[in-house]
Amino acid sequence: MLNIETILCPTDLSETSLKAVPLATEFARIHGADLHLLNVHLLHSITPSEEDLPFPGEALARDALESSAEGIPWNQVVHEVTRGVNAAPTILDYAADHDVDLIVMGSHGRRGFRRLLLGSVTEEVVRMAPCPVLVVGHLPGIPAPSDVDRIIVPIDFSAFTDGQLEAAVELATTFDVPLELVHAVEPIPYVQMSYPIAVDVEDFKHHAQRRLDQLLEQMDGRVAASGRAVVGMADEVVMEFAEESEAPLVVMSSHGHSGVTRLLLGSTTERLLRRASCPVLVMRAGDREAP
């Protein structure tokens, strides 16, 4: 069930990060939730770059936070300016201390070797957050939540699909938009080495389509929905689906993998977050129920 009572929107006061505030405000308004706007001033920058912003001072930072959120009662907004050695752990500690149900934040969409090795603050929060994270990508403008016209749900038929789908259905009901389920059948490399007989990827596609149809039947017409199985890499398929819509929202599940393999290879979720130009709600699997 969508049970959102406390929303955290961390921002470094850059234009990119402030694009997440309208979505955070809209979710707070819809659910009657408290909205916490958080600015973390880093005491020491471990990897300084031209993207680092100078700390404007606590008073100016608080003024910037206060002017960023509109549309919800003033007594439901908390403006917090704090200091920390590293942004992501400070955000995660704040979320745990305040029992946050949803984190809404922007992604700077960095590219290249530095991003691959170190990851971004957003990616670290997504990996470690005890609650779902709604990531607003590197959009050319500020997204209008009321303009969401479709919710895309990448389905991998894992044990976490039911919770992911339930959250997507409730969001589709809230925004009165259709759902589109998509399963990516990734091409199989070196098929002849892996299987004693030739394997036709179309067989996997047909099987996946049947399973999607079963999921649609289980939804029992609660919302308008469709489903497609497509051959291709998962993140590329999802982005193609997103590009077919003017204002999509993607709802996907993170399986919560950790360790060196996650850091070096990334996951479908992380690859999508790097590329997405639309908001992506990442459901943290296993930590708590859907938001």
Residue extents of the structural domains in the chain:
1-139, 148-291
Mean pLDDT, all residues of the chain? 78
What's the whole-model pTM score?
0.82
Tokens of 50: 């031209």
CATH of domain 1-139: 3.40.50.620
> pLDDT tens for residues 165-200?
998 999 999 889 999 999 999 876 544 455 555 567
Among candidate residues 230, 215, 97, the one with its CA nearest the CA of residue 166: 215
Whether 267 and 257 have beta carbons less than 8 Å apart is answered as yes
Tokens of 90: 């400070």
* CA dist 115 → 13, 121, 135 (Å): 21, 10, 17
pLDDT beyond 50 at 118? no
- Vertex 118: Cα angle to 114 and 119 (nearest 5): 100
Q: Return the pLDDT at 108.
A: 63
Q: Return the pLDDT at 229.
A: 94
Whether 144 and 22 have beta carbons less than 8 Å apart is answered as yes
Whether 254 and 269 have beta carbons less than 8 Å apart is answered as yes
Q: Return the pLDDT at 212.
A: 95
Among candidate residues 276, 222, 213, the one with its CA nearest the CA of residue 245: 276
Among candidate residues 288, 263, 239, the one with its CA nearest the CA of residue 123: 263
Q: Reply yes or no on domain 148-291 having CATH 1.10.287.130.
A: no
Domains 1-139 and 148-291 share a fold: yes
